[in-house]
């Protein structure tokens, strides 16, 4: 049996500024739910297999009268097909909710341009910030990730999934922060010797403070 001292370090890895299991927005919450559902499914399958193996050791010869074809069909085709099919449907439904559908009320748009090795964010009025992305809390935000020099990947784990920045292409990802706060972001694609330091911050502001935050960007602050 594992001791508490052995388990606690593993649990501590599930928290922190880059934890997908500490969501702060609907997209990240959906992703975390999908992870937990898949973990539960995998655990159930593992326990069933271990139970069958243990039962075979405790009761040698059990199931000998069952034709091998039946074991193959039900255990090798029907059972995994049902489980994986259910997970696939759930994953597709979750992914559909994460897409950046046009015409969303209150939508805010910002452009993200990665370079070796920093991020430049351009807002609708032309203002820019470097390595700090300012967002309004409680509103959907479409981040248009514009590829530049090499392939990068935009990822804010606590707010949503990740999307690649491919030179010559524009990919869009939708984020939303449930509440004001500061969230960590990283480049999730190896892009050169400075990759490890290519992080950024996402600052979600309350509605009353957002205009003032952008005014600070205009004055040259981050």
DSSP reduced 3-state for 145 = strand
Assigned domain for 51 exists: yes
Q: Are residues 35 and 114 in the same domain?
A: no
In contact, 110 and 123? CB cutoff 8 Å = yes
Distance CA 212, CA 178 (A): 20
DSSP reduced 3-state for 165 = strand
What was the pLDDT predicted at 3? Answer: 45
The number of beta carbons lying within 10 Å of the beta carbon of residue 138 is 15
Mean pLDDT of 83-94: 84
Q: Are residues 123 and 188 in the same domain?
A: yes
What are 4-33's pLDDT values in tens digits?
A: 444 445 555 566 778 888 888 888 888 898
For residue 218, what pLDDT band results from cuts at 50, 70 and 90?
Answer: low
Q: Are residues 116 and 94 in the same domain?
A: no
Assigned domain for 202 exists: yes
> How big is the chain, counted in residues?
222
For residue 157, what pLDDT band results from cuts at 50, 70 and 90?
Answer: very high
What was the pLDDT predicted at 192? Answer: 86
Split into its structural domains, the chain has a count of 2
Give the global pTM: 0.77
Q: Which two tokens stand for residue 108?
A: 């805010």
Distance CA 120, CA 143 (A): 12
């Amino acid at each position: 049996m594992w001791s508490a001292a052995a388990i606690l370090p593993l649990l501590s890895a599930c928290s922190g500024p880059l934890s997908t299991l500490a969501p702060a927005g609907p997209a990240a919450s959906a992703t975390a739910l999908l992870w937990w559902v898949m973990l539960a499914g995998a655990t159930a399958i593992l326990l069933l297999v271990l139970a069958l193996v243990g039962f075979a050791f405790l009761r040698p010869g059990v199931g000998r009268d069952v034709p091998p074809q039946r074991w193959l069909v039900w255990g090798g085709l029907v059972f995994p097909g049902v489980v994986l099919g259910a997970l696939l449907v759930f994953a597709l439904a979750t992914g559909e909710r994460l897409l950046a559908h046009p015409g969303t009320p209150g939508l805010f748009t910002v452009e993200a341009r990665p370079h070796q090795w920093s991020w430049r964010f351009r807002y609708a009025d032309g203002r820019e910030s470097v390595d700090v992305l300012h967002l309004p809390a409680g509103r959907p935000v479409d981040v248009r990730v514009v590829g530049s020099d090499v392939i990068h990947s935009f990822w804010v784990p606590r707010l949503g999934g990740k999307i690649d920045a491919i030179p010559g292409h524009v990919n869009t990802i939708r984020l939303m922060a449930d509440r004001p706060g500061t969230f960590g972001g990283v480049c999730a694609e190896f892009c050169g010797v400075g990759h490890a330091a290519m992080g950024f911050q996402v600052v979600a502001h309350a509605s009353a403070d957002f205009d003032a935050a952008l005014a600070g960007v205009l004055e040259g602050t981050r």
